[in-house]
Amino acid sequence: MTATADGRLDPEYDSEPVAVGGLPPALLSAGRWQPEGSAEAAPAGRTEQQQDGAASAEEALARATTHLLSLQSSEGWWKGDLETNVTMDAEDLLLRQFLGIRTEEQTKATAEWIRSHQREDGTWSTFHGGPAEISATVEAYVALKLAGDDPSAPHMMAAARWIRSAGGIAAARVFTRIWLALFGWWPWERLPEMPPEIMFLPKWLPLNIYAFGCWARQTIVPLTVVSAHRPVRPAPFALTELHTDPDDPFPVRPLAPATSWDGLFERLDKALHAYHHRALRPLRRLAVSQACRWIVERQEADGCWGGIQPPAVYSLIALHLEGYELDHPVMRAGLASFDRFTVHTPDGQRWLEACQSPVWDTCLATIALVDAGLPADHPALVSAVDWMLGEEITKRGDWSVQRPSLAPGGWAFEFENDTYPDIDDTAEVVLALRRVAHPDPAKVAGSVDRGVRWNLGMQSKNGAWGAFDVDNTSTLPNKLPFCDFGEVVDPPSADVTAHVVEMLAEVGKARDPRTRRGVEWLLRNQEADGSWFGRWGTNYIYGTGSVLPALVAAGVPAEHPAIRRAVRWLEDRQNTDGGWGEDMRSYEDPARWAGRGESTASQTAWALMALLAAEEGPDGRANPAVDRGADWLVRTQLPEGTWDEPQFTGTGFPWDFSINYHLYRLVFPVTALGRYLHGSPATGRPTTGPAAIGASR
């Protein structure tokens, strides 16, 4: 039973830790995991060949679990590197150049990293194996020129030649041209206007700052200050070689028809440009002052803003333009936060994480280890729970603008991000907390209770859940001229909704009307081919891998037509090698790429987790695709226990911003193999036979 705020027991749901998937007792062994009691006879329904495969899976799971345990911090958390693309590194050098703090050591190490990611045609992509991308190539080129690379060097000439062929700087996204405008390489007059007076718009008006997703509003507010100043630092060199026509480097694009949304906002932008030169000075100063106060109030304890790179860099620039010296505590803390985001490679290269994911990684690792058979009271799991309990957010953030009466509770993604807890992390943390036998169950129960109540309070009116906000579904922000890079709103998605539904089912609320509304939304939003779209992971495999376990956990029978369609889709998308993979291009071209791509460990695991949840079909027989998928994981495992996965399988903005979570290649295969051997949490039944395995650290 859970305790309410006044200490009374809450009968709504039982929050005692539960055994997951009928896990057998786990035994401690010396130094590492060891499979114990290999089956003398194959379980009913399993062939001898399948039993041999299970034994191999046990060995692979033992190696993977040992490796995962070895990566835990002494404080209890896990964190894998979060890799994006070289624009993070290029912008870091440009920021330091703007502020006058760039060092040769930083520049040399960053340039080495950027060069190492240049493609044979001289370009850069935004994900492994992806196509050339104009903005990434422009920013990388400028960074290398800043580092002293000779424009006549073959690698620089190849990049410049391709940039010109792709339309030159004029074809780059708005945010790239903003960086160039800071040094006079692009005129501010040729950029969309972002007036700070947007701060005065009440929340009931369209295009107020809370109409944008949290990541967008954190970026837009400081950019309004930058736009008001239109600063230009002396350019250290020219970029004429990146223009298609040096005689007309800043072409004016014709306006779209006035009857279209694009045309309407383009004409509004022209009016705002005119206003920039005629703005009432007292009103402009008040707006800038309010924006700066808003920025400072949202600086996190570690100095960052929102735990992500874009708000941080633009906030530092904005505040510096407003007179904050580099030794000001706000500026010092903000710059120091980038040091924590910096990864130094053994060969002397330097690159920046766009964000850090310790809460997400820790809850996923905890779930994986329990599914793998680690004892629920194992010290590693208890330590992880202690750390997660300390990360609970108990203060109000921007989410409370839409939910002023909702009590706080929940978790963010990062080490420090109290302003923006997210619904996805909260759901998965609750699942993780519930699966560990902690010595202070009342303390765990209180956190679980607050997390559940906060998630329920963040349900959108259509019955589903977004990532950070409620009913953040306006289509107008995406139509603004400066919103040409990724999503700027946070509508509900299938993957987040599925994780919340799965969590609600776990805490005994499967029949709650709010849970049923979530289930109904998922069923309504299934794609015609049987899959689900993945907003925060790539892509339809991630969406389907999230939704199927949730539906089964919520009581939707495995024979339901929606589940059978999804199973058939996964079977059809299985690669001939037995694995699953999906390229980022499925966001742009789903007809060709949905569920298609090189097999990866994380995506194979997602498919397995879905099939295991729904494995028993109407004929009562196991799905052979599951055995082939598990065999692929066994065959491709590296000796140290993890998997090689250069492919990007995480999503920041669909197509526009891709992520390689370096821990995904380990935590999800551990989860999948654990459920393959011991049973799915949704079904509580073994799928290949008994495997009593334990661990020590």
Residues noted as catalytic: 424
Assigned token pair, 601? 């460990």
Within 10 Å of residue 570's Cβ, how many Cβ atoms? 28
Residue 83's beta-bridge partner residues?
660
Q: Which amino acid is at 2?
A: T
- Neighbouring residues of 519: CB distance < 8 A, sequence distance ≥ 6: 501, 551, 554, 556
Q: SS3 letters for 7-73?
A: CCEECCCCCCCCCCCCCCCCCCCCCCCEEECCCCCCCCCCCHHHHHHHHHHHHHHHHHHHHHHHCCC
Strands 692-694 vs 34-36: parallel, antiparallel or unpaired = antiparallel
Burial of 661 (0-12, 13-18, 19+ CB in 10 A): buried
For residue 620, the Cα-to-chain-centroid distance in whole angstroms is 37
Assigned token pair, 683? 């079904």
| Interatomic CA distance for residues 224 and 201, integer angstroms | 14
- Neighbouring residues of 141: CB distance < 8 A, sequence distance ≥ 6: 156, 159, 160, 163, 242
Assigned token pair, 553? 């956990």
Residue 316's nearest CA partner among 285, 301, 337 is: 337
Q: Which amino acid is at 414?
A: E
Q: How many contiguous H segments (helices) and E segments (strands) does the chain have?
A: 23, 9
Q: SS3 letters for 436-476?
A: CCCCCHHHHHHHHHHHHHHHHHCCCCCCCCCCCCCCECCCC
Residue 308's beta-bridge partner residues?
355
- Neighbouring residues of 517: CB distance < 8 A, sequence distance ≥ 6: 459, 463
| Interatomic CA distance for residues 57 and 478, integer angstroms | 46
Assigned token pair, 472? 């953040």
Quick one: DSSP state of residue 169? Answer: G
Residue 164's nearest CA partner among 106, 249, 229 is: 249
Assigned token pair, 235? 């350019």
The helix or strand, by DSSP H or E, that contains position 670, with its residue range, turns out to be helix 664-678
Helix, strand, coil percent content, the chain, rounded in steps of 5? 50, 5, 45
Residue 191's nearest CA partner among 255, 252, 254 is: 252
- The sign of the torsion formed by the CA atoms of 135, 139, 142, 147 equals negative
- Neighbouring residues of 635: CB distance < 8 A, sequence distance ≥ 6: 578
Q: Are 384 and 432 in contact (CB under 8 A)?
A: yes
b/e map of 624-654 (b: 16 or more CB within 10 Å)?
ebbbbbbbbbbebbeeebbbebebbbbbbbb
Burial of 275 (0-12, 13-18, 19+ CB in 10 A): middle
- Neighbouring residues of 501: CB distance < 8 A, sequence distance ≥ 6: 515, 518, 519, 522, 550, 551, 553, 554
Assigned token pair, 618? 């109407």
